[in-house]
A and B are shown apart, each in its own frame.
Chain A
Amino acid sequence: MNKVLKYVFYDIIRNKIVLAYAVFLLLLSIGLFNLGGSPDKAILSLLNLVLLTVPLISIVFATTHFYNSYEFMELLVAQPINRKKIFLSEYLGVACSLSGAFLLGVGVPVLLFGASLTGLYLVLTGVFITFIFVAMAFLASVITRDKAKGIGIALMLWFYFALIYDGIVLFILYSFGDYPLEYATLVMTALNPVDLGRIIVLLNLDVSALMGYTGALYKSILGSLWGISMAFGLLLLWVLVPFLSSRRIFSRRDL
């Protein structure tokens, strides 16, 4: 399995896209840290960026990669290797290389210019988001054999989590504005990894003072070690659910 993983990993590294992604992130983060006054402000801007671009690039790259290495996978399946292992290697290869690029592009500048707990949360969130969206991309890819359809589903997923979901929740909140919605909001944000990541970071910045009662509630929950581990546990769940279901489909499907 290690050999397969190594091969996938080298294959991706040789492909210049991941490198370009790392450089793009690096330039942006260094720019942001040198532009704004305080590191807190830069982290805030970086957060917006991470939550928008990282899912998009992860999901699109992972989907295209999956379809492009279809023949290679078919070849491997012909060998005496467990399908689950092939799938895991592919997944780890893509997710690790993308997270590596993210760590290089965002993690290093954060460590250099704004090393703090908030920075750590930002980087952790970014890594989790990468893993989550690669898993979703693989799910989209195993659902259909048609490449165009697969990329379409992947993009829809990104669109849903990065944009539409917030719109829907805001609409629900607006419609039921007369009810106490604090806990409902809590549950609804937990159902979207992008929102969850955003809130974990925001609550550690001083803008959290603007968040009033709801913010205080979130803070009391996420402020404790238990709460923050639960939040990251939820993110882990967001990795595992799409990954395990796509692996299940992959290992049972007629290739």
Chain B
Amino acid sequence: MTNFSKYTFFILAAALLLWGQTASGSTLKVCPSCSYTSVKQAVQKAKPGDTVLVDGGVYQESGIEINVPLTLIGKNNPVIDGNFTGQLITITSDDVTVQGLTLKNVATSYRQNDAAIRAKGRRNLRILDNTILKTFYGIYLEGSEGIVIKNNVVQGENKDKMESSLGNAIHLYYTDEVEISGNDVQGHRDGIYLEVVKDSQVRDNLSHKNQRYGLHFMFSDRNVYTHNTFRSNGAGVAVMYTSNVQMEHNTFEDNWGAASYGLLLKEIRDSVIRNNHFRRNTTGIHMESSSRLDIKNNDFDRNGWAIKVMTTCLEDTFRLNNFTGNSFDVSTNGNSQHNHFENNYWDKYSGYDLDKDKVGDVPYRPVSLYSMLVERVPPSVMFMRSFMVDLMDNIEKVLPSFIPENLVDEQPMMSKINHDNDRKLTQVVREAAGAEGR
């Protein structure tokens, strides 16, 4: 057993030393019975390129400042308990790795925004495999570049707390080229908060039970979000004032509440939203002033409103999406419409397909009269499920006069689209589109 752990330790140390730019350092060991019994002490003594190895134990300390390039690594679950006395780790050097630590108990501090790990104006930082519990902010970086935040668990306590007295789990400000992957963040104000963060990747994260947004970004261009899950957040996911974003294979679910969204888009341009699942959200996607978006191959299932598209949205395309079990499929606030719906599957579609090309022969209008009415006069929502409302919707369907004429899917699909396997179907659709000269 000891041999084994020694072995892994050597491998790890060797790997890290090789990886570091100044790979000539020594290792300072911290444990309750070692020469260093405090992390702070060891970090202060460390020279550039050293490794500080914390082996088990609970350390009651805060205000650890890492001011030389080093690797701070935890083995056997060491815990740094701040006891609510201030920030835990402040990084004031480039090329630093913080790995495998449990950091906990940072008090709410409105003046300094205390975090478990903070850095400002640094390059090449790696924050890996840490567990951060009960902190104000979890990881707080500003003005930095080349960051990896991977496999961390950040867990706060937001019960009975006001939004204003909570910090974010991962908070990035003016930081570029970041990789945020495999993290599990919960119980904070925002799970992942990005402000002016460019050319970054956010992958495989789970953000849940946050007071406000699971993911919140603005002015953050050219980022890629894939395979994340955003679940049961107070207000869902909100993204604003950004262009060239790619959101694929994410799951937005159970964001259910009077002020909740799966995904709230505000002033997003030239972006791609594909292969995502929107399940049981009050509003699947709410779009405002967003243009040139490509929304394709998504599943909208059992949402209150699948899509709310405001008239300020221009030139958005909705193709090959599945709409099933939503109370309202699409809702809008006015008559002018400059968006394009094509080849989606709508479970409320009641048309027919005489030529058997899997595309319905009759156009489908996804906006119902009642959803227009609710958008215009919110109190009328109290008449949901009234027989009169169903009657009105059906009459309107036969003789459309109020619902926007241009918001129509001319070629709705007859059966649900299987996004992974329906290559053939897509081909048929593409050919049909090609024949029309599109």
**Residues of A that sit less than 8 Å from B by CB:** 44, 47-48, 51-52, 162-164, 166-167, 169-170, 173-174, 177, 181-182, 184-185, 189, 195, 198-199, 202, 206-207, 209-216, 218
Contacts and interface: CB of A to CB of B under 8 A. Distances in A.
Given A177-B377, A181-B377, A209-B304, A166 B386 contact: yes
A215 B376 contact: no
Contact of A216 (B256, B258, B305, B373): B258
Contacts of B382: 185, 189, 195, 199, 211, 214-215, 218
A170 B388 contact: yes
A83 B403 CA distance: 57
Contact of B381 (A48, A164, A169, A215): A215
A85 B389 CA distance: 42
Contacts of B386: 166, 195, 198
B337 interface: no
19 contacts: A163-B388, A163-B391, A167-B388, A169-B383, A170-B373, A174-B376, A174-B377, A181-B377, A185-B382, A195-B383, A195-B386, A198-B385, A199-B382, A209-B257, A210-B381, A210-B384, A211-B381, A214-B378, A215-B258
A149 B388 CA distance: 26
Interface in B355-396: 373, 376-389, 391-392
The 6 A-B pairs at the shortest CB distance, nearest first, are namely: A166-B388, A210-B304, A185-B379, A177-B377, A214-B379, A181-B379
Interface string B257-276: 11010000000000000000
Given A51-B387, A166-B383, A189-B382, 15 more contacts: A47-B385, A164-B388, A170-B380, A170-B383, A170-B389, A170-B392, A173-B373, A173-B380, A195-B382, A198-B386, A207-B384, A210-B305, A212-B258, A214-B382, A218-B382
Contact of A174 (B373, B384, B385, B391): B373
A51 B379 CA distance: 21
B87 interface: no
A169 B383 CA distance: 9
Interface of B: 256-258, 260, 282, 304-305, 327, 373, 376-389, 391-392
A47 to B, nearest CB: 7
B380 A163 contact: no
Contacts of B385: 44, 47-48, 198, 202, 207
A244 to B, nearest CB: 29
Contacts of B387: 48, 51-52, 162-163, 166
Contacts of A167: 388, 392
Nearest to B283: A210
A162 B376 CA distance: 24
A174 B258 contact: no
B281 to A, nearest CB: 10
Task: Report whether over half of chain A's contact residues are helix, strand or loop; otherwise say mixed.
Answer: helix
B381 A214 contact: yes
Contacts of B392: 167, 170
A212 B376 contact: no
A48 B376 CA distance: 25
A173 B377 contact: yes
Contacts of B389: 166, 170
A207 B383 CA distance: 12
A207 B373 contact: no
B56 to A, nearest CB: 46
Q: Which of B260, B376, B385, B391 has the most CB of A within 10 A?
A: B385
Q: Which of B327, B380, B386 has the most CB of A within 10 A?
A: B386
B167 to A, nearest CB: 27
A210 B376 CA distance: 15
B384 A202 contact: yes
